[in-house]
Structure 1
């Protein structure tokens, strides 16, 4: 059921664009009928309903954060008018956009979080390689996640690209798990290298990574299955190699072969070691 994984990734990474079922099916590589059957079986949702509820949930979060122009939020969610958006929003959540903006929270709203379906096995690994990487100064968009649920990361990259006027960061780009806590929350930075702090865009977070040695594994499958490769890296491949991880940020490195439109192409998983 790799088509469902591809469809979910495409929806999350293109949610700010006008999407139809045919667009999602094309990205998933199957017919609309086939995708509809597979998606419903895997998630319990229809593709169209999931897409609509994800957009309305994102709109609700934007309103709760204090968005000043409801029409702009409506247009971003794919609605052509304030009235159509308000009807759909009230049907979904039982409240109007104005009410959610006024209460400044999502309390009481049954919003829909990103789904993740991991369907592909991690690729076989011939051997880890060791690289010295850094120092790096990165600039980008940083967000917190629960370690068990990072399905919002594709939309985070979409936000970064949008802030760069649609241009992907100069390769390589970096997805850094920069911090964690005892409650299982992590901070993830989607960013790109800069040479000095003055190059960072307004509102962007910056992060310095010291020069270190890293154990590096290549993830060559679709990006949606990268959690499986991460799990194999930490649970099997690294312990078997005799290398020891240290307490420092690890990251994904997206080189020029990675296709941001399809989620295909190589990604390096880099774990700091002694």
Structure 2
């Protein structure tokens, strides 16, 4: 059982009891950062956000039966008051608990069902190469997003094309997409840029310093439209099957002469730092 599957199993089995991110990660033998990355990549929510959505879904189903008062359902969902539950419920579903109880249906609600692995996203990929790499700096443009809102990343690359000549002393011909600064709520910083030894950062640009590490290096080969399937397979199958644990450090995509931005096809390396 992979880390994400194990985490979902623990949460579903103990849906009513309090959990912290650190406790859940420890039960799954993963770091909080790794677990958050897995949830964001595959579920679109941070672990605790997923747990809240599942509890509110169960609450909605109980309300739709119409045979319980709202307060006991709120308490079962982990809320200490009717008011707190109502705010969370309305924020999640755009509908008051009392309205769902009156309607006796959840058919119009965006319920969160238990996560299961999407087998259609699992593809055949080559085993990783293992490489050591020293510390280096990437300079470019950055944005904050989640894996659910990462549609902003292609636009960022388009903007970077207009600014790449502003990077001092770049390593020519190689470009990096770096995922870093993962937060507990699933937000992270993505930097599109080039490696440089420069310390001066021109106005409007951003940097990320990547520490020395040992990496598992995977390859995506083909059109970039299938890139998400490669990433999904890496995090849900390739890493767990190989018994590899990612480190709490930036991971990155590497684009060089093997990738053609005009056709959006070629080879992209995906570097995962190892603990």
Provide the TM-score with structure 1 as the length reference: 0.52
Per the TM alignment, residue 149 of structure 1 is displaced from its structure 2 partner at its CA by: 2.5
Runs of 4+ aligned structure 1 residues displaced above 4 Å come to 120-123, 165-169
Aligned length: 154
Per the TM alignment, residue 125 of structure 1 is displaced from its structure 2 partner at its CA by: 1.8
Per the TM alignment, residue 172 of structure 1 is displaced from its structure 2 partner at its CA by: 1.6
Q: Which residue is equivalent to 2:131?
A: 131
Distance in 2 (alpha carbons) for counterparts of 1:176 and 1:164: 16
Per the TM alignment, residue 182 of structure 1 is displaced from its structure 2 partner at its CA by: 2.1
When Rg is computed on C-alpha atoms for both structures, the one with the higher figure is 2
Listed one character per residue, the Cα deviations across residues 153-199 of structure 1 (whole Å, up to 9, x for unaligned) are 1110110111135999822211000112122211100010111213x
Per the TM alignment, residue 134 of structure 1 is displaced from its structure 2 partner at its CA by: 2.7
Distance in 1 (alpha carbons) for counterparts of 2:152 and 2:182: 17
Helix, strand or coil: the match of 1:144? strand
Helix, strand or coil: the match of 1:197? coil
Listed one character per residue, the Cα deviations across residues 218-248 of structure 1 (whole Å, up to 9, x for unaligned) are 0002112211111110110011112221111
- Aligned runs of 1:188-207 on 2, under 5 Å? 188-198=190-200, 200-207=201-208
Stretches of structure 2 that go unaligned for 5 or more consecutive residues are 1-119
Provide the TM-score with structure 2 as the length reference: 0.52
Helix, strand or coil: the match of 2:181? strand
Quick check: 2:121–2:232 contact (8 Å CA) kept in 1?
A: no
Q: Which residue is equivalent to 2:217?
A: 216
Per the TM alignment, residue 141 of structure 1 is displaced from its structure 2 partner at its CA by: 0.3
- Aligned runs of 1:222-261 on 2, under 5 Å? 222-261=223-262
Listed one character per residue, the Cα deviations across residues 57-98 of structure 1 (whole Å, up to 9, x for unaligned) are xxxxxxxxxxxxxxxxxxxxxxxxxxxxxxxxxxxxxxxxxx
Listed one character per residue, the Cα deviations across residues 205-227 of structure 1 (whole Å, up to 9, x for unaligned) are 11111110011110002112211
